[in-house]
Amino acid sequence: MPWDFALILIFLSVAVPWLGRRRVHQLLAMSQTTKMDRLSLYASTIAFQWFAACIILWRTSARGIPVEQLGLALPKPQLAVAAAIILSSLILLNQISSLRRMAARPAEIKGLLPQLALKIFPQDNVERLAFFALVSTVAVCEEIIYRGFVQFVFQSWAHGLALAGILGSAGIFALAHLYQGKRGLLSTSVIGLLFSSIRAWTGSLLAPLAAHFVADLAAGFLAPGKLRSAVVHPSDASERTG
């Protein structure tokens, strides 16, 4: 494995999880976040994501690796588009269902992810616009990083074995979301396996990228209202489940 690829993998496996946990601890220690806190978080995340993606594209280009091998192509366009539509629809339905279940169970809102969501998700139109830019960035950059670069590196390392690429991609992706706790680690592992499998099947990042975008956008736009409503009117949420 080239030295620069190895360094990138080490950074993604060690530094990214550590930085994520550090940021989450800082957020949870705050009684509440301000508009400037949220906008600053969005801006810094956008900058970091694009920086990481550009470094990866630079080093793969320097190594003579065509972008097609990173999934930045449509070798099977009809299959890729169909997979993108179906996967995005399923992810959207799952997000809506999960949010409804969580809002109907006020006790769950005290968990790590709901508390984090209340602090970082947008609260007005200006923040929603910035959040849209954030979601677009994360969908593109994380798919290039994890389902593009990482999956390619592990598959190449295993002499073309697709399963190695799928497992390696899903594992590093899950580590990057270690800050979400055990429950989040499990869900991101499953999502990582699903997305990397579809990327291997279609030969393209289109489907996981579209689904990633839909999942994050739906959570950011729908979760704040449902969670705050459940916090303010917990009895109403309990009655809906009774």
Across the range 31-35, mean pLDDT stands at 89
> What confidence score (pLDDT) does residue 14 get?
94
Query: With bands split at pLDDT 50, 70 and 90, how would you rate the model's confidence at 239?
Result: very low
> What confidence score (pLDDT) does residue 111 get?
65
Query: With bands split at pLDDT 50, 70 and 90, how would you rate the model's confidence at 49?
Result: very high
> What confidence score (pLDDT) does residue 241 get?
43
HSE at residue 164, side-chain half, CA atoms within 13 A, is 10
**52-56, 180-184, 231-235: least confident range:** 231-235
Across the range 38-53, mean pLDDT stands at 96
Q: How far is CA 141 from CA 11, 181, 182, in A?
A: 16, 23, 24
Compute the C-alpha angle 139/121/34, nearest 5°.
130
State pTM to two decimals.
Answer: 0.88
Phi, psi of 204 (to 5 degrees): -140, 155
Residue at token pair 């979760």: 223
Across the range 23-44, mean pLDDT stands at 91
> What confidence score (pLDDT) does residue 238 get?
44
Query: With bands split at pLDDT 50, 70 and 90, how would you rate the model's confidence at 242?
Result: very low
Digit-coded pLDDT (tens) for 61-101: 999 999 999 999 999 999 999 999 999 999 999 888 887 77
Digit-coded pLDDT (tens) for 180-224: 777 778 888 999 999 999 999 999 999 999 999 999 999 888 877
Q: How much of the chain is in helix, strand and coil states, percent to nearest 5? A: 85, 0, 15
Strand runs (DSSP E) across 104-174, as ranges? Answer: none
> What confidence score (pLDDT) does residue 95 get?
86
Arithmetic mean of pLDDT over the chain: 88
Query: With bands split at pLDDT 50, 70 and 90, how would you rate the model's confidence at 112?
Result: low
Across the range 24-52, mean pLDDT stands at 93
> What confidence score (pLDDT) does residue 98 get?
80
Contacts of 170 (CB under 8 A, 6+ apart): 189, 192, 193, 195, 196
